[in-house]
Amino acid sequence: MITHKIKTILLITIFVSSSLLLAQDSAVKREMKRLNTKIDRQNTRTDSLDTQIRMLLPELQNALKANLKAKEQTDSVAILLINRINTMQNKMRLIEDKTAYIDSVNFEILAQLVMVENKIVTLTNSFTEMYNLKNNRSNDKVSAKISPSEYKKIYIEALSSYQNSDFEKAVTGFAGLVLSDPANDLADNSQYWLAECYYTMKNYKRAVIEFEKVFTFAGTDKDDDAQLKLGHCHRSMGNLNKAIEEYQRLIDYFPGSEFYEKARESLKQLKVQ
Asked if pLDDT for residue 6 goes beyond 70, the answer is: yes
pLDDT of residue 91: 60
Long-range contacts of 246-253 (CB under 8 A, 24+ apart): 250/224, 253/227
Q: Is 141 part of any domain? A: yes
Asked if pLDDT for residue 149 goes beyond 50, the answer is: yes
Model confidence, pTM: 0.52
Distance CA 185, CA 142 (A): 11
User: Which domain does 215 fall in, by range?
Assistant: 105-272
Q: Is 110 part of any domain? A: yes
pLDDT of residue 119: 52
Distance CA 256, CA 10 (A): 151
Q: Is 25 part of any domain? A: no
Distance CA 134, CA 156 (A): 8
Asked if pLDDT for residue 100 goes beyond 80, the answer is: no
Distance CA 133, CA 149 (A): 10
Q: Is 159 part of any domain? A: yes
Q: Is 27 part of any domain? A: no
CATH number at residue 137: 1.25.40.10
Tally Cβ neighbours within 10 Å of residue 223: 19
The burial class, CB within 10 Å (0-12 / 13-18 / 19+), for 177 is buried
Asked if pLDDT for residue 94 goes beyond 80, the answer is: no
Q: Is 87 part of any domain? A: no
Highest mean pLDDT among 8-12, 97-101, 111-115: 8-12
Q: Is 71 part of any domain? A: no
Within 8 A by CB and 6+ apart from 262, the residues are 228
Give the pLDDT band (50/70/90) at residue 141: very low
In the predicted model, what is the mean pLDDT of residues 214-242? 96
pLDDT of residue 101: 47
Give the pLDDT band (50/70/90) at residue 223: very high
Q: Is 118 part of any domain? A: yes
pLDDT of residue 164: 96
62-76, 90-104, 109-123, 191-205: the lowest-pLDDT one:
109-123
**Chain mean pLDDT for the chain:** 80
pLDDT of residue 73: 77
